[in-house]
């Protein structure tokens, strides 16, 4: 196998929002860095959550520290990354049967954390699908966020400042000499090439795989993986984010995301973390509980289900998933006998910027550098907006210029990679029509459009397999349309 050598100051492992946030912060402080991700960017929880930019209200009672972090970062992110955020606002809804005592504690918690709350009347709610059994309703500054776009904008901003990003590259070994990290050995899976990267510091921000990366360096981390499953509905059922005002539980958040609505989440111990999926039992539970807020929920078409893994940090094995704090932890493993190795655990997408800033503060201390972080004042946006070319995806308003923009950043991006950057195929048709159009566009560029389409449809099909009723009929029709070209139940993605 061909060998290659590279050199940098810092290697960041993990291409989610935490890893890309750390990469950007490093680049803004003039520190050379390379990010390694074993799949595509936003492959883990950053692309598999409910799309909620938290106001902190959800944690006002159970986790005051996280609540305060969330509201502070909420306001910062709305300022620095407006292209990835829809400022929908949010509602916390108390139903007639919900506990008045919890509402009282919640209001006190919001005030203490600095979360602005305004009580509104039934007439002011203006949510046509909401149950009429509402007792009280409160406005909070929740918002909807595109995690895929956020991660990729962070990565591109870092690259513009000299950082390097290597996707589909897997860590094989953390290299250490005399109890100090000296680099990593990785495998570029697309080129089938091993690379040794010499570095002074390695930052482990691998999300659900953070303990596996640490283990490769001989370090044990007390991680409890926790699965949250979600449902995507065909319509935009709510105008704002809707939260159930009670102790956090299953199916108590509705998030409007472009033309669709996301309902979540559950909290269970996953069977595996590499390809999490929602069980039929989880789907039924989400529908049953969600219908308490939106009574006609089961009448609406479900587009798909999906699941993400929360890498919760807790040394208490008896803690249940929802009882574990969502605060983050930064561990300098010098205390474990390995200098130059840092792990970043826990936290939330809403607090990624703060996590990154504190991590890079630690890195700067280790490197003897005194440069403050400036990410709270650095605006990150796309250089193009709108549709200027041929429309490919009607549901998400994605055109040829959107694909061109991202292909110019990396010609090797596959159709699934482009989906994660543009939301192509994430709308109501789930790629049934736009997949063909996008594949044709890639064919015109000299790519294997049929293979790209096969991989794309396979991935889109996975989240629809547990549907039933009329939805099963629709899914069968979609599969029949492509049956002459592909066997969607057997063929997997070729491009990773």
Q: Could you read off the pLDDT of 34-86 as tens digits, one per residue?
A: 999 999 999 888 888 889 999 999 999 999 999 999 999 999 999 999 999 99
DSSP string for residues in 36-83 = E-SSSTT-SGGGSS--EE--SGGGTTT-HHHHHHHHHHHHHHHHH-GG
User: Please, what is the average pLDDT of the chain?
Assistant: 89
Residues 107 and 155 in one domain: no
Residues 25 and 163 in one domain: yes
Which tens digits make up the pLDDT trace of 225-243?
889 999 999 889 999 999 9
- 73 belongs to a structural domain: no
- 383 belongs to a structural domain: no
CB 268 within 8 A of CB 56: no
- 231 belongs to a structural domain: yes
Which tens digits make up the pLDDT trace of 252-266?
999 999 889 999 889
* Cβ neighbourhood burial of 386 (10 Å; 0-12, 13-18, 19+): exposed
Residues 157 and 299 in one domain: no
Which tens digits make up the pLDDT trace of 267-293?
888 888 888 888 888 999 999 999 999
Residue 401 corresponds to which tokens in the numbers above?
A: 């210029």
Residues 208 and 235 in one domain: no
CB 63 within 8 A of CB 326: yes
Pick from 86-90, 136-140, 326-330: least confident? 326-330
Is-above-0.95 flag for pTM? no
What's the structural domain count of the chain? 3
* Model pLDDT, residue 389: 78
Distances (CA, A) of 75 to 62, 114, 352: 21, 11, 13
Distances (CA, A) of 372 to 240, 332, 369, 387: 36, 19, 9, 38
Q: Provide the CATH number for the domain around residue 247.
A: 3.30.9.10
How many CB atoms lie under 10 A from the CB of residue 330? 19
Residues 335 and 397 in one domain: no
Question: Is the confidence at residue 92, as pLDDT, over 50?
Answer: yes
- 439 belongs to a structural domain: yes
Which residues contact residue 322 at a Cβ distance below 8 angstroms, ignoring those fewer than 6 apart?
A: 62, 248, 249, 267
DSSP string for residues in 187-215 = EETTTTEEEEEE-SEEEE--GGGHHHHHH
User: Residue 118's pLDDT band (boundaries 50, 70, 90)?
Assistant: very high
Residues 37 and 168 in one domain: yes
Question: Is the confidence at residue 388, as pLDDT, over 80?
Answer: no
Which residues contact residue 465 at a Cβ distance below 8 angstroms, ignoring those fewer than 6 apart?
A: 475
Question: Is the confidence at residue 482, as pLDDT, over 70?
Answer: no
Preceding amide of 75 cis, omega within 30: no
CA dihedral 63, 71, 278, 322 (to 10 degrees): 0
Residues 246 and 136 in one domain: yes
CA angle 358, 16, 491 (to 5 degrees): 165
* Model pLDDT, residue 483: 54
Euclidean distance between CA atoms 325 and 209, whole angstroms: 19
Residues 137 and 250 in one domain: yes
Residues 229 and 297 in one domain: yes
- 24 belongs to a structural domain: yes
- 359 belongs to a structural domain: yes
Question: Is the confidence at residue 493, as pLDDT, over 50?
Answer: no
* Domain final residue, candidates 258, 276, 311: 311
CB 402 within 8 A of CB 420: no
Which residues contact residue 91 at a Cβ distance below 8 angstroms, ignoring those fewer than 6 apart?
A: 125, 127, 137, 138, 139, 140, 240, 241, 242, 243
How many CB atoms lie under 10 A from the CB of residue 145? 28
* Model pLDDT, residue 491: 45
| For the chain, the helix, strand and coil percentages under 3-state DSSP, each to the nearest 5 | 35, 25, 40
User: Residue 487's pLDDT band (boundaries 50, 70, 90)?
Assistant: low
Q: Provide the CATH number for the domain around residue 174.
A: 3.50.50.60
Which candidate, 42, 52, 94, places its Cα nearest to that of 265?
52
* Model pLDDT, residue 492: 45
Residues 113 and 214 in one domain: no
> Across residues 307-326, what is the average pLDDT?
68
Residues 200 and 245 in one domain: no
Which candidate, 263, 269, 262, places its Cα nearest to that of 227?
269
Which tens digits make up the pLDDT trace of 127-179?
999 999 999 999 999 999 999 999 999 999 999 999 999 999 999 999 999 99
Residues 249 and 139 in one domain: yes
* Domain final residue, candidates 311, 345, 367: 311
Which tens digits make up the pLDDT trace of 407-457?
988 888 899 999 988 889 888 777 878 888 999 999 998 888 888 888 888
> Across residues 460-470, what is the average pLDDT?
67
- 76 belongs to a structural domain: no
Residue with more model confidence, 397 or 495: 397
Range of the domain at 396: 391-482
User: Residue 468's pLDDT band (boundaries 50, 70, 90)?
Assistant: low
Which candidate, 115, 488, 179, places its Cα nearest to that of 340?
179
Question: Is the confidence at residue 489, as pLDDT, over 60?
Answer: no
Which tens digits make up the pLDDT trace of 347-369?
889 999 999 999 999 999 999 99
- 405 belongs to a structural domain: yes
* Model pLDDT, residue 318: 45
CA dihedral 482, 487, 489, 495 (to 10 degrees): -90
Question: Is the confidence at residue 495, as pLDDT, over 80?
Answer: no
């Amino acid at each position: 196998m061909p060998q290659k050598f590279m050199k940098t100051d810092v290697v960041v492992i993990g291409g989610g929002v935490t890893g890309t946030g750390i990469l950007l912060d490093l680049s803004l402080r003039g520190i050379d860095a390379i990010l390694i991700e074993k799949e595509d960017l936003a492959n883990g929880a950053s692309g598999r959550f409910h799309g909620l930019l938290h106001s902190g209200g959800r944690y006002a009672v159970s986790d005051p520290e996280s609540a305060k972090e969330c509201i502070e970062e909420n306001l910062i992110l709305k300022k620095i990354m407006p292209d990835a955020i829809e400022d929908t606002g949010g509602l916390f809804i108390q139903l007639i049967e919900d506990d008045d005592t919890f509402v009282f504690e919640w209001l006190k918690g919001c005030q203490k954390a600095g979360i602005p709350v305004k009580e509104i009347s039934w007439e002011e709610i203006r949510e046509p699908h909401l149950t009429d059994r509402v007792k009280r309703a409160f406005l909070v500054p929740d918002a909807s966020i595109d995690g895929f776009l956020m991660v990729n904008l962070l990565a591109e901003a870092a690259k513009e400042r000299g950082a390097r990003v290597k996707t589909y590259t897997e860590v094989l070994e953390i290299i250490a000499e005399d109890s100090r990290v000296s680099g990593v050995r990785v495998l570029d899976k697309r080129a089938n090439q091993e690379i040794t990267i010499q570095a002074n510091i390695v930052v482990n921000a691998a999300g659900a795989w953070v303990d596996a990366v640490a283990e490769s360096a001989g370090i044990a981390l007390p991680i409890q993986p926790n699965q949250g499953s979600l449902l995507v509905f065909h319509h935009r059922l709510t105008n704002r984010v809707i939260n159930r005002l009670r102790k956090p539980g299953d199916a108590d958040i509705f998030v409007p995301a472009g033309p669709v609505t996301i309902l979540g989440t559950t909290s269970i111990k996953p069977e595996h973390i590499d390809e999490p999926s929602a069980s039929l039992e989880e789907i039924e539970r989400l529908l049953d509980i969600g219908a308490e807020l939106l009574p006609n929920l089961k009448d609406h078409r479900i587009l798909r289900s999906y699941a993400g893994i929360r890498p919760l940090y807790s040394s208490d094995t008896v803690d249940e998933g929802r009882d574990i704090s969502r605060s983050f932890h930064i561990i300098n493993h010098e205390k474990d006998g390995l200098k130059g190795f840092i792990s970043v655990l826990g936290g939330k997408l809403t607090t990624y910027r703060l996590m990154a800033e504190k991590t890079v503060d630690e890195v700067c201390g280790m490197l003897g550098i005194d440069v403050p972080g400036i990410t709270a004042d650095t605006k990150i946006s796309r250089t193009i907006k709108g549709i200027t070319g041929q429309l490919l995806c009607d549901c998400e308003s994605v055109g040829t210029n959107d694909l061109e923009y991202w292909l110019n950043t990396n010609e090797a991006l596959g159709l699934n990679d482009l989906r994660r950057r543009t939301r192509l195929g994430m709308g109501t048709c789930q790629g049934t029509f736009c997949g063909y159009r996008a594949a044709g566009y890639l064919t015109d560029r000299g790519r294997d459009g049929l293979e790209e389409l096969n991989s794309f449809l396979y991935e889109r099909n996975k989240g629809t397999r547990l549907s039933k009723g009329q939805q099963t009929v629709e899914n069968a029709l979609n599969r029949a349309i492509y049956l002459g070209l592909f066997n969607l139940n057997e063929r997997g993605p070729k491009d990773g």
